[in-house]
Chains A and B, each alone.
Chain A
Amino acid sequence: MTTQHITLTVNGEARDADVEPRLLLVHLLRDVFGLTGTHIGCDTSNCGACTIHVNGQSAKSCTMLAVQADGAEVRTIEGMVAGTELHPLQQAFWDQHGLQCGFCTPGMIMQAAWLLDQNPQPSEAEIRAGISGNLCRCTGYVNIVKAIQQAAGELQASASAPAAAGEAVAAEA
């Protein structure tokens, strides 16, 4: 099987790999780079569990080939934590109980991050529309919407006062 050499940036780190042209980006991330926070929930690009950012755009990584990410800048859920500090969205999902089984959570957070990037002060309807490509079977979406609202408020506040960047919360072992 012929392979193709690709180089890309993943969560700020330069990576490269020899991949078969048919390898999906999600499999590159999970199987080759060991970044298993990006999940797979379907085979028809419906669930959104695999959502990541490619060049600042949200993308379902099961709908992209690894070779399409050649030269790209990729961000996954593992790249959301700054040291031991949770991203305001991660903190908000925790605070608001925006997760139960947690399987949809990484994709949901990546989608929400992109949404807030595009629209820092979304209405509830805009939030619901923005995450409608990401399925959650546990929460009824109620606390997910609340979490995104909380994060929007905090990101907004920290944007106007860059010094107060939220409290550090150590991840549990």
Chain B
Amino acid sequence: MPRMTIRTPPGRTLTPVAPRRTETDPLVLQPGTIAPGRARPAAPLRREGPAKLTGEAKYADDLVFPGAWYGATIRSTDAHARFDGIDLDPALDWSAIAVVTAADIPGENIVSLVSDDQPVLVPVGGEIQHQAEPLVLLAAADRETLRHARRGVTIRSTPLSPVFDPRLSDHVFAHFDIASGDLERGFAEADLVIEGEYRVGHQEQLYIENNAMIAVPREDGGVAVHGSLQCPYYIHKALKRALRLTDEQARVVQAETGGGFGGKEEYPSIIALHAALLARKTGKPVRMIYDRHEDLSATTKRHPAIVSHRTGVKADGTLVAQEIDVVMDGGAYCTLTPVVLSRGAIHAGGPYRCPNVRIRARATRTNTPPNGAFRGFGAPQVEFAAEVQIGRIADALGMSPLDIRRRNLYRVGDETPTGQVLRESVAAEEVLERAAEAAEFEGVRTRTERARARRAGSGSVPGSPLRTGADRTASGIGLALAWHGAGFTGSGEVKLASVASVELGADGRIRVLTASTEMGQGTKTIFPQLVAAELGVAVDDVDIAPQDTALVPDSGPTVASRTAMVVGGLLIKAARRLREVVEERNGGRPFADVHRADAAAHGPTRIDQQFEPYPHVHFDDETYRGDAYPAFGWAACVVSVSVDLDSGEVTVRDVVAADDVGRVIHPVLAEGQVEGGTLQAIGYATIEEIKLRDGRYLNDRLATYIIPTSLDAPRITTLLVEAPFSGAPHGAKGVGELPMDVGAPAVVAAIRDATGVWIHELPASPERILAALGVTAEPPGQAPAADTVRAALDEPIEAGTDPRPDAPTDPQPMRGPRDPGEPS
């Protein structure tokens, strides 16, 4: 089994590869370039709005292909087994049904991605790795025949012993070790050492449109697939390898896409391969449209994680040592796990300066459906842990949540654990102060603190059966701060070498050609905006070419909040060159005045712009040292909640989100990203949870996997902050993922403020809150690892470390400084 393991030796033996910086470094922007949002430019309405508003827009399942058959996937019911074979019910007429197994795959039986470990279909004799693993494909001319056919397939298998605990798995997908400074010395300098273990579970993207793909056979022996997807060229490559097709024989066309959030980054490749194999077998178009149940039970989710922190801090709140251990559950196959883990490892310390850091991260295989991309991509898990840890440190020192962050947050010139010096575009302080000010954080917190003290003093302690009326509901306010690396990690963008094009057509219209997909975030609106501004023409003069691999170049996947920053940057450069070419041909007259005449005289002119490495950005993938990201985006979030102390129910009332996006291109769309991302984060924090039994998701329907409704959604105030990134021509850094990183820890901090207890595991469900309050027993399986508790209880809790009289129920005891000689 191929595996990907990346190791870097820890310690100071490594020479940082980050370049020397000088005063004249062109990346150093003058102070004052951080702008707290600019005056709003006129924002164009959403390009594809009318089609979506009238029902005209064609999502995958709306497309009609005459004579199309319906496809279905027969999946395993074993979490881990040997696949011994299939039996087809002899009573059924199989002549009208197409049956596809691994033996029908003409090329390599792999779903092409980071590692080639995932088969398109498990071959007979092969190993089944999870309960939703595809084994056999069926297609029939109508749904009714297909339904009967499904019942006529019996899978034979021999069970093998499964692994469900990622900490016990010895199959490591990836492993990172990041170190800076001298950890032991850091802990020796500390006045206080605090430990904590934090856990997060699966989260489903829950785009409202389920996954859907339709494959249509081509006359040249190839296949065209139309579907709901984020990354046309991922699918293109997967089709070429598994079906042995040429570039031209494989064609991928995006249908209107009803949300993605990462969930349509890699999984659509599998569905496209399945549909294409059936289309090849039948010679007909084949529709592979998942229903919600199949989508929830089989497709990728956010990686569950267990994050342990040990932090050394001075009495004044200065961080001096961070030791962090991250374990992510990759599920049964590698998918994008190494990339998710890498982002998780790099962000694990939170947006704080600390001289001595050691971060160890590993992701392992379990016999559960594979986990994959989801908005935030490894960062929400670790930043939840980092922020709760920081909050608990503030509590232990009697500092305000705001002051501890002010003391430690990154500023220009600081160095991150990978040795990256933050030379520009650092807005941690700006977003923090603006969010805190707008939410009147300190003032509200004084009131909530007083109310809590009054409740404690009145004998109406949490869990008291006598509590009634106003004392039953506790209000709290919480704060969190996060950073998010903009675009791909390390040298990802350089390796990708994306191309985006701008064309002046023979008809005088301007066309944008990229493979960047619209899934609601606004690609089709902002690209024409950027190009029109550069060319000096009206937005409506700029068209967008369809996301069809037969027409557009590979501008890379639509992921990592890179579309506005990276692809937008390429388009600006392409437009700039187009303008120069045309203006030069026309005696220097402005493009807007001459482009129609120029097109008539010279025919079409197309400029292809390839990505050029950002100057002064260097990262060593081997040692994991250097500039992990060209820049970071920064986000702060203040959340107000009320908690029903009897039921444990949390209501999120108000959110103030301040997000630094580099440059705002379209304020309303950017705010829309913050609002939607914030609500997803609130869902993650409070209600969204996948329950598993024997490797199977138990709540795999929308009736049981619940997401926030309009009644659960708080009032959201968005403050856009601009700390431009000088490497992008427009300064933009992306916005999509920031709100996802910062929402959940802010909710948990607000619950702490309301109740006095820290919740260490997401979601902060009523069950967990009541258990933490001591009203009920710890929910089964949720108790902190017994050895951690024992080890911690062996040492007395340092007197005076917790200033809150009503905060005794924290399940993770805090510890005094260790003896420097004691092994960790």
Identify the A interface with B (CB < 8 A). Answer: 1, 30, 34-44, 46-47, 49, 76-78, 80-81, 86, 90, 93-95, 97, 99-106, 109, 127-129, 131-145, 169, 171-172
Asked if B299 is at the interface (CB within 8 A of a chain A CB), the reply is no
Q: Does B675 contact A99, Cβ atoms closer than 8 Å?
A: no
**Closest-CB distance, A92 to chain B (whole angstroms):** 10
Q: Does B679 contact A99, Cβ atoms closer than 8 Å?
A: no
Number of A-B residue pairs having CB atoms within 8 Å of each other in the complex: 181
Q: Does A172 contact B51, Cβ atoms closer than 8 Å?
A: yes
Q: Given the complex, which residues of B lie within 8 Å of A39, measured CB to CB?
A: 59, 208-209, 258
User: Could you say which of A34, A102, A128, A172 contacts B711, with CB atoms under 8 Å apart?
Assistant: A128
Bound: A1/B672 CA distance, A: 49
Asked if B323 is at the interface (CB within 8 A of a chain A CB), the reply is no
Given A129-B711, A140-B676, does the pair A86, B209 have CB atoms closer than 8 Å? no
| CB under 8 Å from chain A, chain B span 651-679 | 668-669, 671-672, 675-679
Asked if B156 is at the interface (CB within 8 A of a chain A CB), the reply is no
**Closest-CB distance, B64 to chain A (whole angstroms):** 8
**Closest-CB distance, A36 to chain B (whole angstroms):** 4
What residue of chain A has the Cβ atom nearest to residue B715's Cβ? A142
Q: Given the complex, which residues of A lie within 8 Å of B520, measured CB to CB?
A: 99-102, 138
| 11 residue pairs from A and B, CB less than 8 Å apart | A43-B293, A44-B292, A86-B50, A99-B49, A100-B259, A109-B53, A132-B709, A137-B206, A139-B675, A140-B716, A141-B679
Asked if B701 is at the interface (CB within 8 A of a chain A CB), the reply is yes
Q: Does A97 contact B669, Cβ atoms closer than 8 Å?
A: yes
Q: A97-B46, A102-B258, A172-B51 are in contact. List 8 more A-B contacts (CB 8 A).
A: A34-B64, A37-B56, A41-B292, A97-B669, A103-B207, A103-B259, A134-B710, A135-B702
Identify the B interface with A (CB < 8 A). Answer: 45-59, 61-62, 64, 144, 205-210, 256-261, 291-293, 519-522, 668-669, 671-672, 675-680, 701-703, 707, 709-711, 713, 716
What residue of chain A has the Cβ atom nearest to residue B50's Cβ? A171
The listed residue with most B CB atoms (<10 A of its CB), out of A46, A104, A132, A134, is A46
The listed residue with most B CB atoms (<10 A of its CB), out of A80, A102, A144, is A102
Q: Does B56 contact A139, Cβ atoms closer than 8 Å?
A: no
Bound: A44/B707 CA distance, A: 14
**Closest-CB distance, A33 to chain B (whole angstroms):** 12
**Closest-CB distance, B517 to chain A (whole angstroms):** 11
Q: Does A135 contact B49, Cβ atoms closer than 8 Å?
A: no
**Closest-CB distance, A108 to chain B (whole angstroms):** 10
Q: Does A102 contact B48, Cβ atoms closer than 8 Å?
A: yes
Q: Given the complex, which residues of B lie within 8 Å of A138, measured CB to CB?
A: 208, 259, 520, 672, 676
Bound: A93/B519 CA distance, A: 17
Q: Does A102 contact B256, Cβ atoms closer than 8 Å?
A: yes
Q: Does B701 contact A78, Cβ atoms closer than 8 Å?
A: no
Bound: A57/B591 CA distance, A: 54
**Closest-CB distance, A37 to chain B (whole angstroms):** 2
The listed residue with most A CB atoms (<10 A of its CB), out of B45, B144, B259, is B259
Q: Does A101 contact B49, Cβ atoms closer than 8 Å?
A: no
Q: Given the complex, which residues of A lie within 8 Å of B716, measured CB to CB?
A: 140, 142
Bound: A38/B716 CA distance, A: 29
Q: Given the complex, which residues of A lie within 8 Å of B293, measured CB to CB?
A: 43
Bound: A103/B520 CA distance, A: 9
Q: Does A49 contact B672, Cβ atoms closer than 8 Å?
A: no
The listed residue with most A CB atoms (<10 A of its CB), out of B56, B210, B680, B707, is B56
**Which are the 9 A-B pairs with shortest beta-carbon distances?**
A37-B55, A103-B258, A102-B52, A101-B520, A100-B520, A140-B675, A36-B62, A140-B679, A44-B703
Q: Given the complex, which residues of A lie within 8 Å of B52, measured CB to CB?
A: 99, 102, 105
User: Could you say which of B51, B291, B677 contacts A43, with CB atoms under 8 Å apart?
Assistant: B291
Q: Does B679 contact A100, Cβ atoms closer than 8 Å?
A: no
**Closest-CB distance, B63 to chain A (whole angstroms):** 9
Q: Does A46 contact B703, Cβ atoms closer than 8 Å?
A: yes
User: Could you say which of B208, B210, B677, B678 contacts A136, with CB atoms under 8 Å apart?
Assistant: B208
Q: Does B208 contact A76, Cβ atoms closer than 8 Å?
A: no
What residue of chain A has the Cβ atom nearest to residue B540's Cβ? A172
Q: Does A40 contact B53, Cβ atoms closer than 8 Å?
A: no
Q: Given the complex, which residues of B lie within 8 Å of A44, measured CB to CB?
A: 292, 701-703
Given A42-B701, A128-B713, does the pair A99, B257 have CB atoms closer than 8 Å? no
What residue of chain A has the Cβ atom nearest to residue B55's Cβ? A37
Q: Given the complex, which residues of A lie within 8 Å of B256, measured CB to CB?
A: 102
Q: Does A144 contact B710, Cβ atoms closer than 8 Å?
A: yes
Q: Given the complex, which residues of B lie within 8 Å of A145, measured CB to CB?
A: 710
Q: Does A41 contact B208, Cβ atoms closer than 8 Å?
A: yes
The listed residue with most A CB atoms (<10 A of its CB), out of B47, B48, B50, B678, is B50
**Closest-CB distance, A80 to chain B (whole angstroms):** 7
Bound: A135/B676 CA distance, A: 12
Q: Does B291 contact A102, Cβ atoms closer than 8 Å?
A: no
Bound: A120/B677 CA distance, A: 31
Q: Does B702 contact A105, Cβ atoms closer than 8 Å?
A: no
Given A41-B208, A44-B702, A137-B259, does the pair A86, B53 have CB atoms closer than 8 Å? yes
Q: Does B53 contact A137, Cβ atoms closer than 8 Å?
A: no
What residue of chain A has the Cβ atom nearest to residue B291's Cβ? A43
What residue of chain B has the Cβ atom nearest to residue A36's Cβ? B62
Q: Given the complex, which residues of B lie within 8 Å of A99, measured CB to CB?
A: 46, 49, 52-53, 520
**Closest-CB distance, A58 to chain B (whole angstroms):** 15
Bound: A106/B256 CA distance, A: 14
Q: Given the complex, which residues of B lie within 8 Å of A169, measured CB to CB?
A: 50
What residue of chain B has the Cβ atom nearest to residue A102's Cβ? B52
User: Could you say which of B59, B205, B678, B702 contacts A103, with CB atoms under 8 Å apart?
Assistant: B59
Bound: A169/B64 CA distance, A: 28
Bound: A144/B716 CA distance, A: 13
Q: Given the complex, which residues of A lie within 8 Å of B672, measured CB to CB?
A: 97, 100, 138-140, 142-143
**Closest-CB distance, B289 to chain A (whole angstroms):** 9
Q: Does A40 contact B703, Cβ atoms closer than 8 Å?
A: no
What residue of chain B has the Cβ atom nearest to residue A142's Cβ? B675
Given A95-B45, A135-B709, does the pair A106, B259 have CB atoms closer than 8 Å? no
What residue of chain A has the Cβ atom nearest to residue B45's Cβ? A94
Q: Does B57 contact A102, Cβ atoms closer than 8 Å?
A: yes
What residue of chain B has the Cβ atom nearest to residue A92's Cβ? B53
Q: Given the complex, which residues of B lie within 8 Å of A1, measured CB to CB?
A: 144
